[in-house]
Structure 1
Amino acid sequence: MKKYVAEIFGTFWLVFGGCGSAVLSAAFPEVGIGLLGVSLAFGLTVLTMAYAIGHISGCHLNPAVSIGLWAGGRFPANQLVPYILAQMIGGVLAGGVLYLIASGKAGFDLSAGFASNGYGAHSPGGYSMMAALITEIVLTMMFLLVILGSTDERAPQGMAPIAIGLCLTLIHLISIPVTNTSVNPARSLGVALYVGDWALAQLWLFWAAPITGGLLGAGIYRYLGSKD
């Protein structure tokens, strides 16, 4: 049970820290942290939680990661559903706390996006659904390659959280203009649930694409990392 609770807290931190930086700090007058700051915030949430709960739950914080680790032979199938449910709970709780904070400012408007992921008219850069799909699949695939490679018993020990956190930072630097960056269905759900409307209508892509990418990354690493 402690593993599932750890995943709730870990995913809460990822969504609250990452999306919170986007909603509260990205464009703050004169001292906003911008795209670079938001990207770094997401990376730091994973880095800090990997050291905090990695030894308890493995610090997945992401249904696509859990599914990818299962496909890569690193995670038992019978724990997949509880992990994913815990991640969803953590994401939704984080979205709720962030909403309570953000709505305390005059002029707050959920329709501005609330850090939700989107494509077409709801892509920050106006990118198409196909562009969003390809972006999310490819980047989640690379994320799983980094996760599986850096946590391999043959890799330098103790360095995996740094590699994974920096990888997530890089992923955001690439893709915030395209989709606002998901690569994580729980992160997408956590804020889309409060926006409703278009955010929920487009949520399917931010489940389907990261899971597909996670499976691809796992399959590639099973080939590259095999010892025979």
Structure 2
Amino acid sequence: MTNPQQHPFPAQSRRSSRSAAEFAGTFLLVFGLIGAALLTSPDDNGRAPQPGTGLLGVALALGLAVTAGGFAFGPVSGGHFNPAVTLGTAIARRLPWRLVPLYVLSQALGGLAGAAAVFGLVSGAPGDTVGKAVAAGFASNGFDGQSPGLYGLLPVAAVETVATAILVLVVLATTHPTKGTPVAPLVIGLTLTVMLFVALPIDNASLNPARSLATAAFGGPHWLAQLWVFIVFPLLGAAIAALLYPRLFAPHDDAPAPAAPVSRRTSPGSRSQKSVAPSPDE
């Protein structure tokens, strides 16, 4: 989610800086999303009625969190905050594969920390507010009886695959080195908001395995048992998008680059020399 005209890829960031940026961005995403879902969307705060924001507030919270995180941390790590986005960018050759485990681990830990922070806040509410939140799944994703609208596995798998594919297509398009836009984080945040309007009533909207892991860890074993769905199908959607994007929207620009010519200097009594560019991802 960097400025494509100035910093196409966060090539010069250290691994530790990338890890910190992905941790912080995912923390912000989960903290904002789950905090809004548990604290501001209901019409009751546990003691008295309140004007809850409903699904609109939850969708906007995620979109705004991703937008803010993208502008703040995108120049450091690319602003993925989502293992599905990381997989998509790796398949599209926008991220070295050796960095994928670092990104995914940082995202998982950031999401768990964000959910833990919300858990701590809810624990300070009067009565058994935290117990009720955990009993309801702590805003986890689910299907069948654990779906908000009691949707089965098939529609849940479909919405996770399609919505994540759309998200990754938008990420690849807006962060393209030559065709992208400096306001990529805003466009991506708006896309997520729209996707949540569709997916929230179906399965509480994952599109992000790190987000699903974070809430299922606090929701308990019933939610953890369904977590695989919200890992497999977002990753599937991301892979589909990454394979389709260069063929549909950038067939020439995203084609494998030809090997750089090797410059050799030869002189009497001297060895041939190769010009080797430094690795850009360390």
Q: Give the TM-score of the pair, scaled to structure 1.
A: 0.97
Alpha-carbon distance between aligned partners in 2 of 1:88 and 1:154, rounded to the nearest angstrom: 31
Q: CA RMSD in A?
A: 1.1
Deviation at 1:162, TM superposition (A): 1.2
Query: Hey, what does 1:227 align to over in structure 2?
Result: 252
Within the alignment, does 1:19 sit opposite 2:24 as a pair? no
Q: Which has the higher contact order (CA 8 A, sep 6+)?
A: 1
Runs of 4+ in 1 over 4 A off after TM superposition: none
Query: Hey, what does 1:45 align to over in structure 2?
Result: 65
Report how many residues are paired. 228
1:95 to 99, 102, 115: 115
Conserved? CA contact 2:212–2:230, under 8 Å: yes
Alpha-carbon distance between aligned partners in 2 of 1:40 and 1:167, rounded to the nearest angstrom: 11
More helix by share: 1
Within the alignment, does 1:182 sit opposite 2:203 as a pair? no
Query: Hey, what does 2:215 align to over in structure 1?
Result: 191
Query: Hey, what does 2:128 align to over in structure 1?
Result: 107
Gaps (5+ residues) in structure 2? 1-15, 44-48, 254-282
Query: Hey, what does 2:50 align to over in structure 1?
Result: 30
2:242 to 207, 210, 218: 218
Query: Hey, what does 1:150 align to over in structure 2?
Result: 174
**One-letter code of the match for 2:143?**
Y
**One-letter code of the match for 1:40?**
L
Query: Hey, what does 1:62 align to over in structure 2?
Result: 82
1:133 to 157, 170, 191: 157
Deviation at 1:194, TM superposition (A): 1.1
Percent identical among aligned pairs is 40
**One-letter code of the match for 1:184?**
N
**One-letter code of the match for 1:183?**
L
Deviation readout 1:84-106 (Å, 9 max, x if unpaired) = 00000001111111111112222
Alpha-carbon distance between aligned partners in 2 of 1:186 and 1:36, rounded to the nearest angstrom: 22
**One-letter code of the match for 1:162?**
L
Q: Which moved more, 1:218-227 or 1:63-72?
A: 218-227
Conserved? CA contact 2:25–2:69, under 8 Å: yes
Deviation readout 1:122-177 (Å, 9 max, x if unpaired) = 10011001110011001000101000011113335312111100000001011100
Query: Hey, what does 1:168 align to over in structure 2?
Result: 192
**One-letter code of the match for 2:238?**
G
Gaps (5+ residues) in structure 1? none
Q: Give the TM-score of the pair, scaled to structure 2.
A: 0.79
